[in-house]
Amino acid sequence: MKKSVKELSIESKILRRLQHNPTCLELVHYLFADEELQELQDYANNVSIKRLGYNDHGPVHMRQVAGNAIKMLNILQQAGIRTSLEQEEIGTFEDSMCAVIMAGLMHDLGMSIGRQGHEEMSVILAQPIIDRALMHIFPNDLRRRVIIKSLTTECIIGHMSSRKIHSIEAGIILIADGCDMTKGRARIPMAINTTPRVGDIHKYSANAINRIGIHRGDRKPIRIDVEMSGDVGFFQVEEVLLTKIDSSPAKQFVELYAGVQGQEPKCYL
């Protein structure tokens, strides 16, 4: 199972972010070694880029979203914000993190079938992988497996902001997905799809995003900074990221700044 340098680099970052959480660490090791998951991620990327002409929706993107979500969930915990499972006294922070990890790594598996309704297709394809991963981690705890599986499913099916979601965990995945929009995602489709077509604005706007930073905020727990090379990047911020944040149950915890490199950034939230 050969992985790219970029995939391995993101995996290393994820492992570092989970070094103090042995259960979640074991889960990501299990998922990173799952051959079916890897093959589905690779094929989803092939369909997305080569067949449909979209941006990266494969193993790098799904790892990046998982990494973003892990970072944001850790920031919320450090700020004393409890997840939905914790608030409802039905699960632990660790349970929430397990759901976010699996959702991040599987939310776009449905792109292996097509764009329309890919959230629902992702849920269908992810179920057996979720089941065996949870059985590996929690073999003697049916209740915990049921709760985490259900939450993971909400996170996956809600990642496009087209469906109402209710948990902080699903809201974090929604934002984490929106945050992966740098020029790296557009590099391959920009190179191989040169004929003008409807939807190209997404490629060109993503190509203008230099960097997205996620760190602790001043006014709210999470601060997102978007640095771009040109004004076209504002389309990506306003039509993709801001739309997802607006639909997220975690919106109240996020401040958002975006601007062209060398200029004063605009405060959106």
Residuewise pLDDT in 10s, the chain (269 residues): 789 999 999 999 999 999 999 999 999 999 999 999 999 999 999 998 999 888 789 999 999 999 999 999 999 999 999 999 999 999 999 999 999 999 999 999 999 999 999 999 999 999 999 999 999 999 999 999 999 999 999 999 999 999 999 999 999 999 999 999 886 545 445 454 555 554 556 667 778 999 999 999 999 999 999 999 999 999 999 999 999 999 999 999 999 999 999 999 999 99
Q: Residue 200 has what pLDDT?
A: 56
* Residue 257, both tokens: 């700044």
Nearest to 182 by CA among 203, 206, 214, 205: 206
Place of tokens 């920009």: 190
The dihedral region occupied by 160, where left means phi > 0, alpha psi between -120 and 50, and beta the remainder, is alpha
Does this model's pTM top 0.95? My answer is no
* Residue 2, both tokens: 């050969």
CATH of 5-178, one of 1.10.3210, 3.40.1350, 2.40.50, 3.30.70: 1.10.3210
CA angle centred on 269, ends 157 and 213, rounded to 5°:
75
Residue 211 backbone dihedrals phi, psi, to 5 degrees: -160, 145
CA angle centred on 101, ends 42 and 220, rounded to 5°:
125
Nearest to 54 by CA among 103, 5, 119, 114: 114
Nearest to 168 by CA among 65, 77, 42, 259: 77
Residues of the chain with CATH 1.10.3210: 5-178
Q: CB 211: neighbour CB atoms within 10 A?
A: 12
The answer to whether 254 and 245 are in contact (CB under 8 A) is yes
Q: Residue 190 has what pLDDT?
A: 46
